[in-house]
Chain A
Amino acid sequence: MMAQASQKWILLVVLVAFLLFLPWSLGNYWTYLINLSGIYTVAILGLNILMGLGGQMFFGGVAMMALGAYASAALTNYLGIPFYLSILLSGFITSVLSLVIIFPALRVRGLYLAMVSVGFHLILDQVIGHWDSFTGGYNGLSLPKVSFAGISMATDRAFYYVVLAGVAFSLWSASNLMKMRVGRAIWALGQDAVASSVLGLNVTYYKVVAFLLCAFYCGISGGLLAHYLRFITPDHFTIVMAIMLLVGMIIGGWGSLTGSIAGGFFVTFLPEVIGFFKDYFLGASTALYDVQATISGIIIILVVIFIPHGFAEWVKGLRLKWRYQHKKE
């Protein structure tokens, strides 16, 4: 018992040390990609609570990220709030603003919810694009360089620690929440809404909570993105990104909080890998965006046909199959 506990501690210390030293062993570009992965991990975590656990078909995760990003930018630009506070606050602000979509969303389910959330995304896109005085419109909005206690955090390496803190806080808070009454209620809701209501669960209440939690994490993710890129336009929050987050969530595993990390890496690295192969096979002159769209679309189709329950489940299935075949021989 003691040995096991100390082993766990050693593993944790090694992991923390590894994570703390990671950016010093990597170049700037790799650190940049890892930072982005971390940021998307937080958003996918939110989607995992709402979709993976709560079973709601919601495609508006990126719209919530956009709300968080612009809220955080406004807090810093117009009110001069330091970046760490504004990132945290953007989570709460996004939750409050999301009430606009949560109330219509509560009335519908399945396909209708999916389309309502797409509509939410597109309306928000129009609002951000045309409210020039506040959001900078399609020209984008710049943010000041971030600094903490007089030290500049604007480099990739320094911001890595901000992202790390954000991911650690989100994973820790989400995994604790999911062990509490709220989390179990959301899980039950995802399993069977009718059965949970028969067991005395207030379905509507917990649905709202799931939406608010999703908005909170997506908002934090958007805030991190805004302060990291220091320049946001509506082009950072496209509808294609919305579906990529979803595919990232599926690949990481439905409802698997740690799987969100895999999802974040998938979302960030897939365009990079596609870009690499495009240069190799098609030459640098072909438009990257179109190749990415084509290949991403094909990958989405392949994922839902062949591994609809995520990578971990898929590997588990393969292992079971392998074991079964070996037993027979």
Chain B
Amino acid sequence: MLIQLITSGIALGSIYALIALALVLIFKGAQLLNLAQGELVTIAAYFSLAILTQVQIPYLLVILPALVLAGIFALLVERIVIRPLIGSEEWPILLATWGVSITIRGMIGLIWGHEPRPLPSPFTSSHLRLGPYALSAQEVVIILTSLLMLTFFYLFFTRTKSGLAMQVVADNATGASLCGISVSRINALTWMTSGMVAAVAGITISPIFFLHVDMGFELLLSAFSAAVLGGFGSIIGAIVGGYLLGIIQTVSGGYMPAAIKSSVPFVILILVLIFRPTGIFGKAIVEKK
């Protein structure tokens, strides 16, 4: 029982880790919290549903076109909504991303309706047997895909010129632009990357959690708690926090009433902010008194 809960926890945690990574990427690159990140997850899942119902291709292949669409979509959001607000205070950008989130949810509701839909995947019905334990194959797919994505992004950040430029902009945007790095282009790239990371999360989780309008927003809030748990602003922290939160939530959900399970991330968020606001790896965010 416990081992099985922990493996589902790791699967859920991989999703949290991916979304938290996407949040932290944008936060570091542009100093803003993207409340529409969850909707980028949702819309990628619906894109892949639309593709799967139109053309007959294997489930794993659908990730590629959905990734491209999600990247373009994130780029459009950055161009239309965020670009005009660069240089303004914190709250207009926060509200604007929330506006994007509400708009996308309304549009998804208009196009696809409100009833939850499954994303067809061949892996949901099959199980892997390891001795006495049975693992859902979809959970294995989630864990492997997200590990692949995380490795890919690690290499991207440390080995490629664009990745290094993104790190430089995150560290010091003025200095970066003095060195000849186009900050606005890097910002666009950051948005695109985080849209794609979110897309992977959306496509791999929706065969288990049914697709519905609010799924992204719920995931976003959990992912934010995960990022705070790991230390907001730290990429390693986002990943570790994501896995940790996924395990805590699933294990505690196994022993407590189901209604409590969805509140676990907020309880953890509030506890972390009270007792260790820096999280595991982060820098201080506490209000100085």
Structural contact, A123 and B110, CB atoms closer than 8 A:
no
Instruction: Give Cα A112 to B273, complex, Å.
Output: 9
Within 249-289 of B, Cβ neighbours of A (below 8 Å) are at: 259-260, 262-263, 265-267, 269-270, 273-274, 277, 285-287, 289
- Chain B contacts of A290 at CB under 8 A? 106-107, 109-110
> Of the candidates A57, A119, A291, A296, which one forms a contact with B91 in the assembled complex, judged by CB atoms under 8 Å apart?
A57
Query: Knowing A111-B94, A293-B109, A297-B106 touch, does A122 contact B263 (C-beta < 8 A)?
Result: yes
**Chain B contact residues, majority secondary structure:** helix
Which of B119-127, B162-170, B221-229 lies at the binding interface? B221-229
> Of the candidates B81, B221, B232, B274, which one forms a contact with A301 in the assembled complex, judged by CB atoms under 8 Å apart?
B81
- Chain A contacts of B53 at CB under 8 A? none
Structural contact, A304 and B96, CB atoms closer than 8 A:
yes
Query: Knowing A123-B267, A126-B262 touch, does A300 contact B109 (C-beta < 8 A)?
Result: no
B85 at interface (Cβ–Cβ under 8 A)? Answer: yes
A312 at interface (Cβ–Cβ under 8 A)? Answer: no
Structural contact, A123 and B33, CB atoms closer than 8 A:
no
- Chain B contacts of A304 at CB under 8 A? 85, 92-93, 95-96, 99
Structural contact, B90 and A301, CB atoms closer than 8 A:
no
B72 at interface (Cβ–Cβ under 8 A)? Answer: no
> Of the candidates B99, B106, B266, B277, which one forms a contact with A107 in the assembled complex, judged by CB atoms under 8 Å apart?
B277
Instruction: Give Cα A110 to B27, complex, Å.
Output: 13
- Chain B contacts of A247 at CB under 8 A? 95
Instruction: Give Cα A112 to B227, complex, Å.
Output: 11
> Of the candidates B81, B102, B269, which one forms a contact with A115 in the assembled complex, judged by CB atoms under 8 Å apart?
B269
Instruction: Give Cα A240 to B105, complex, Å.
Output: 11
Structural contact, B85 and A305, CB atoms closer than 8 A:
yes
Q: How far is the CB of B288 from chain A (nearest CB, A)?
A: 8
> Of the candidates B33, B99, B109, which one forms a contact with A289 in the assembled complex, judged by CB atoms under 8 Å apart?
B109
Instruction: Give Cα A301 to B228, complex, Å.
Output: 27
Query: Knowing A108-B273, A110-B90, A111-B90 touch, does A294 contact B96 (C-beta < 8 A)?
Result: no
Number of interface residues of A (CB under 8 A): 47
A286 at interface (Cβ–Cβ under 8 A)? Answer: yes
Instruction: Give Cα A311 to B142, complex, Å.
Output: 48
Within 191-237 of B, Cβ neighbours of A (below 8 Å) are at: 217, 221, 224-225, 228, 232
Residue of B nearest to A240 (CB): B102
Instruction: Give Cα A131 to B215, complex, Å.
Output: 23
Q: How large is the interface on B (under 10, 10 to 19, 20 to 34, 35 or more residues)?
A: 35 or more
- Chain A contacts of B88 at CB under 8 A? 308
Instruction: Give Cα A290 to B267, complex, Å.
Output: 30
Instruction: Give Cα A200 to B262, complex, Å.
Output: 43
Q: Which of A104, A299, A301 has the most chain B CB within a 10 Å cutoff? A: A301
Interface string of A104-122 (1 = CB under 8 A from B): 1011111110111011101
Structural contact, A293 and B263, CB atoms closer than 8 A:
no
Instruction: Give Cα A120 to B265, complex, Å.
Output: 11
Q: Which of B93, B109, B274, B287 has the most chain A CB within a 10 Å cutoff? A: B287
Q: How far is the CB of B14 from chain A (nearest CB, A)?
A: 22
A203 at interface (Cβ–Cβ under 8 A)? Answer: yes
B180 at interface (Cβ–Cβ under 8 A)? Answer: no
Query: Knowing A108-B286, A111-B90, A126-B262 touch, does A301 contact B100 (C-beta < 8 A)?
Result: yes
Residue of A nearest to B84 (CB): A305
Instruction: Give Cα A239 to B33, complex, Å.
Output: 17
B101 at interface (Cβ–Cβ under 8 A)? Answer: yes
Query: Knowing A122-B221, A126-B262, A301-B81 touch, does A112 contact B228 (C-beta < 8 A)?
Result: yes
* A107-B277, A122-B221, A296-B99 known, 15 other contacts, Cβ within 8 Å: A112-B273, A114-B91, A118-B221, A119-B269, A120-B266, A126-B259, A126-B263, A239-B217, A246-B95, A290-B107, A290-B109, A290-B110, A297-B101, A297-B102, A305-B81
* Nearest 10 A/B pairs, CB to CB: A293-B106, A297-B103, A294-B106, A300-B99, A297-B102, A290-B109, A119-B266, A301-B99, A304-B92, A130-B259
